[in-house]
Amino acid sequence: MAELEGATPLTFPVPFPGLPSCLVWCDATCEEAAELLGPPMLTDWVDGLGDGDFWAFEFPCGLQVMYQFMHLGRGGVVTADSPEIDHVLHHIPFREAVCTPADEAAFQLGIDLLLEAYPERQQEIELLNAFQV
């Protein structure tokens, strides 16, 4: 399980809302998320879903990650400014057992959204998706 040591909190609104739409699904409540991430940085209404708690951090390597957990039920999503799921999983403080990477269709949608939002990073983004471990 990763720690947030060295991570810098980001100010909302973060520059990459929903890009990619979801890299990782975490099976946890917003209370469990707060135990790992600290008090929510933002609580806001999400249309059709209700209130949600949000956190966002930048790690020393430059990766920016945002967490969104809804007040009703279990589950949260992790988004980042990079589509490299293994890199994101390395940094998030949730146990591997509660994390599920996005499926291929959701992942490809995220890549497309990233390319649209950051055309200057096209080569970097395509290279990250060009290999598998």
Helix (H, G, I), strand (E, B) or coil at 16: coil
Average pLDDT over residues 98-117: 71
Angstrom distance (rounded) from CA 27 to CA 93: 13
pLDDT the model gives residue 74: 85
Per DSSP, the residues of 96-131 read: GGGEEEPPHHHHHHHHHHHHHH-GGGHHHHHHHTS-
pLDDT the model gives residue 43: 95
pLDDT the model gives residue 4: 84
Average pLDDT over residues 57-80: 90
CA atoms within 13 A on the CB side of 109: 10
pLDDT digits (tens, 9 = 90+) for 9-53: 999 988 776 555 678 889 999 999 999 999 999 999 887 778 999
Q: Is the pTM of this model over 0.85?
A: no
Q: How confident is the model at residue 132 (pLDDT cuts 50, 70, 90)?
A: very low
Q: How confident is the model at residue 83 (pLDDT cuts 50, 70, 90)?
A: confident
pLDDT the model gives residue 128: 58
Mean predicted lDDT score pLDDT of the chain: 82
Beta strands 50-58 and 42-46, pairing class = antiparallel
Smallest CA-to-CA distance from 67 within 107, 12, 116, 108 is with 12
Count other Cβ atoms within 10 Å, centred on residue 60: 10
